[in-house]
A and B are shown apart, each in its own frame.
Chain A
Amino acid sequence: MKQKTLERLSPLIVLAATLLLWELIVRILSIPEYIFPSPSEISLQFGEFREPLLQAAWKTLWVTMLGFGVSIVVGVLLGFLIGSSRMAYTALYPLMVAFNAVPKAAVVPILVVWFGIGLGPGILTAFLISFFPITVNIATGLATMEPELEDVLRVLGARRWDVLMKVGLPRSMPYFYGSLKIAITLAFVGTVLAEMTAGDSGIGYLMQTAGSQQRMSLAFAGLVTIGVMAMVMYEIFSWIEKRTTAWAHRGSQSA
């Protein structure tokens, strides 16, 4: 088999091998379903509980997207502010790091008190957990702008704003799109977390309910659904990254 084909098929091969191993372990050791379901048992759930799973998945998806949208807007604005001004950087950074270190699971109950059960905590947790990487990456992109590129504009008498908009921001785009890949997976974490603790719908809520009813395979099915959704979103943003910042990836190994 050609090297390139082998490389392309390798993740599928690994996935198939893992599933097979999983199935064998469960069967050979006769692990009961309510402790650790096998892939075959999980896939049965997708047949039986198709409707609920799809509905829950859809709910989780658009709540995450909303929170993610907010975190992009806030992340970019904040990152721009921090990256463009040394003063803002020194002033705001420690606070932000402290804020980011707080486990968001601890914040959810507070959000429930403020916004009630349901949509509010979901969107907000997704936002709070995912805006930080975006901010940091944009700020880094701006702060590390090469002086040579800046000189080209300064010699023409360009103002600071010109330099930031024409050189700083475009130059930071690779960092930005890279951070989106991380942020989207974090946003999913945030939403599911909120749904589990204080939700009334969505995959997190479904998993919580299934777990309390000892329906382990359904809970796992929920898990798989989230995994698939997060992976698909990651791939979408990875594709967007390659399309828009082709100039930055020109040196790396060709796809």
Chain B
Amino acid sequence: MSAAIEVVDLKKSYDTVEAVRGVGFTVGAGEIFGFLGPNGAGKTTTIKILCTLLQATSGTARLAGLDVAASPSEVRKRIGVIFQDPALDDRLTAEENLMLHAVAYRVPRADRQARIDESLHFVDLFDRRKDLTRTFSGGMKRRLEIARGLVHRPEILFLDEPTTGLDPQTRARTWEVLRELRKKYGTTLFLTTHYMDEAENCDRIAIVDHGLIVALDTPAALKQRVGKDQIAARTADPAGLARLLSEKYGLESTAADGGLTFLVEEGDAFIVKLLTASDRPPLEGISVRRPTLDDVFLSLTGRQIRVEGAEGNAAKLRALVRRRG
């Protein structure tokens, strides 16, 4: 796989704030690559540098082999960007928005209408093509932006928080579209998110915190790193079960409501082993929970990813950053 994106020791400071403190990574062509982290971790700043809207303080970024600082206009021809906030002209129709985009990206005149129609069909908005985009719902706007991102067939598509603020159904539909997109055109997708379940859709994830990458791997491998599955067993004889676990398997367990919980590698296989053991006390129920990316984030940073509480502050910070640059 050749590299679609190569970033080396990228840094960006605003006055006294270091938003990005030296990140480096490589994204292969056709890969879905996610930047996962809380608001204010430097995700949007990184994406803005990659799509030539901001100059890095130091470090290099190459897209399709082109340096973003040295040849911004060459880079711009090859990328599509879907911003965190809608960037549509809401007083134009869906079709007019895409046509303007097609002209701006020098799509050959003969291909324009066909490409626009295809893109609109792709996101299921063909029937609404003559409507002003201000009449669209949030999910429709996001889909229209994806359609617009496709009109010029970019090699790399950047998506900044592609499903923030969308309802679960629309989020699922958006992801269907994105996966189809990769399958059909082999587009490389680079996205940022602070949703764990969204990050699961990526081939690889970089977990970012305070402007640094703290881990980079496939979602499965990251979860593997946290390791063990958590098993919760309900039983009338927790003491007996705890004794069995510690004597026979060397496992420590903690008492929980109506039973106990313990951590073990390959929990599903262990359950089978436990159920077939002749000397176990009777069980009323048993469940296994695999580690989530939440657990990964917690174990890497010692914090939960802030979704609700700090949102307000992060939004303010983002507004501040936007105002400054």
Q: Do A and B bind each other?
A: no
